[in-house]
Structure 1
Amino acid sequence: MKFYSSKIKNLEITGRLFWIGNILFSLTLFCFSLYFLYLIYLRFGNFNRDMDINMIVTLSVVIFILLVAVFLAIEVSTLYKRIINQDVRNYVDSIDDIKGHQNEDFDF
């Protein structure tokens, strides 16, 4: 007879505040970095002028913050989709358990 055990940990949406805070944090970082990119663009008109090393470092930090914001938003989205898919899979598995796995061979 087969014995089933969960080999993966169930993912849950534990707190709405955590999810809303994570999304707001990524949006804030995204807006912050776009605003500073716009300020740098206004300061130099276009990026063809000579920029000193301090401004290049600032530009690279702002671009890094922009990338972090994008990856945070992608992470929240994919984690939410994984949780929804797991809930659907758990529902289908519970129906399969009720049926009793009639199509499987049992070794006694």
Structure 2
Amino acid sequence: MKNIVLVLALLILSVAGFKAQANSYVDTYPKVTKVYVNSGGLALIRIESHDNWLELGKVGDAKTDAWVAIALAAALSGKKTWIRYYPSTSGYPRVSILSVSA
């Protein structure tokens, strides 16, 4: 019985830790340098402080389409953007655009 309780406690703690890690993010304020949609339909951006492509999401999704429009406006205007960066272990790092500086 003790073993079952111990295993359940460890399982609950590991799931809680995974959820906390999945919700972790970093806010950054760079300029968008490039906006690109690849052949797979992923909207990608490059920012001045990062050498690799960052994923906004799949084109056709309402949020992604809005972020693409904001990213294009930011890239054309040269303004800094408030970008929320979600670390990824596979594929492109995922980001969302929260605002563009005035």
TM-score (norm 1): 0.28
Higher RCO (CA-CA < 8 Å; seq separation 6+): 1
Larger Rg, first or second structure (1 or 2): 1
Higher helix share: 1
TM-score (norm 2): 0.29
